[in-house]
């Protein structure tokens, strides 16, 4: 028996559904394309949207310039993290990482290339992968999330080579200091931990919530977003979104944003984008002034 074709949803109902979807949207992840012209943002519905940063930052930008060029369904659950290689966009959801070709995404023809799953303690354990990080010198990918570990994957072979332990609760975010080389990780335990990749050991811990200017006890101690640019770090979550000087381990700027942030990114030394509990990505052009917002 042939299945009946679903009836078209009336335009009015579709607009109401889309409005409700935007109202309850959380942007968990974002990533700038290898060419630096595009921003990918992933939400709690498993969708990835591609924005043109060059168009949005243009002096002739219109409201349409701040809307997605492309939106596609990437995962069944939330898109918790994304990162880019020279050719690929990698996205992570519940227990898996997927690869997409940037060239196909920009042509609106997205097809999954491959998927990988880290080794977990049991086959029943499927923790979310909250963070992805490329280490170009090693040609490796670091994954972290619900199992409180940092996993390293060789990008050439797809095999997992090591795991780092130290966090006492979920890991939410990762960042790379290439000069060191060190990896920064932040999690539910309220700490930003620095790891030396040469020794695979923890070398520094910053407990952000213990600093009075950053602390927001009503939001908790968790670190939900993290980015670094040489000697500087931006992190936030339960504590306020704050710019830190890493060598002295001191906070220098606290951003006036009330809601906890889920993701933050440095862009071309001057622009910082932050996303969280809304359908918007806020763009700051001088590390203090919000210039405009991109929106799903």
pTM for the structure as a whole: 0.77
The CA–CA distances, whole Å, from 240 to 146, 198, 259, 290 equal 23, 32, 9, 16
Tell me, what CATH number does 39's domain have?
Answer: 2.40.10.480
Is 159 part of any domain? no
Domains of the chain: total: 1
d(CA 57, CA 82): 22
Phi, psi of 15 (to 5 degrees): -65, -40
Domain coverage including residue 91: 26-107
Is 73 part of any domain? yes
The alpha carbon of residue 17 and the mean position of all alpha carbons in its chain are separated, in whole angstroms, by: 26
Is 196 part of any domain? no
Is 64 part of any domain? yes
d(CA 281, CA 284): 10
Is 95 part of any domain? yes
Q: What is the pLDDT of residue 205?
A: 92
Low-confidence ranges of the chain (pLDDT < 70): 1-14, 16-18, 122-123, 262-263, 266-278, 284-291
Dump pLDDT digits (tens) for 152-190: 999 999 999 989 988 999 999 999 987 778 999 999 999
Is 173 part of any domain? no
Is 78 part of any domain? yes
């Amino acid at each position: 028996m042939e299945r009946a074709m679903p009836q078209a949803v009336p335009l009015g109902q579709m607009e109401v559904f889309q409005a409700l979807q935007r109202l309850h949207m959380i942007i968990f992840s974002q990533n700038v394309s290898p060419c630096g012209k595009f921003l990918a943002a992933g939400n709690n519905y498993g969708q990835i949207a591609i924005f043109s940063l060059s168009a949005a930052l243009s002096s002739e930008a219109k409201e349409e310039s701040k809307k997605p060029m492309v939106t596609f369904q990437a995962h069944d659950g939330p898109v918790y993290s994304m990162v880019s290689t020279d050719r690929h966009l990698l996205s992570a959801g519940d227990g898996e990482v997927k690869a997409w070709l940037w060239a196909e995404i920009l042509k609106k023809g997205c097809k999954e290339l491959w998927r990988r799953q880290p080794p977990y303690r049991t086959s029943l354990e499927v923790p979310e992968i909250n963070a992805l990080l490329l280490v170009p010198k090693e040609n490796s990918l670091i994954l972290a999330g619900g199992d409180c570990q940092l996993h390293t994957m060789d990008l050439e072979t797809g095999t997992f080579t090591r795991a780092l332990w130290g966090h006492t609760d979920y890991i939410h975010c990762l960042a790379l200091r290439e000069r060191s080389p060190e990896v920064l990780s932040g999690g539910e335990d309220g700490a930003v931990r620095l790891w030396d990749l040469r020794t695979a050991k923890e070398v520094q811990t910053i407990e952000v919530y213990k600093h009075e200017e950053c602390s927001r006890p009503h939001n908790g101690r968790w670190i939900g977003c993290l980015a670094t640019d040489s000697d500087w770090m931006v992190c936030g979550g339960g504590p306020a979104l704050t710019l830190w000087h890493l060598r002295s381990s001191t906070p220098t700027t606290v951003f006036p944003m009330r809601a906890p942030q889920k993701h933050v990114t440095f862009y071309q030394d001057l622009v910082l984008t932050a996303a969280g509990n809304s359908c918007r990505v806020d763009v700051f052009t001088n590390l203090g002034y919000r210039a405009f917002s991109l929106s799903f």
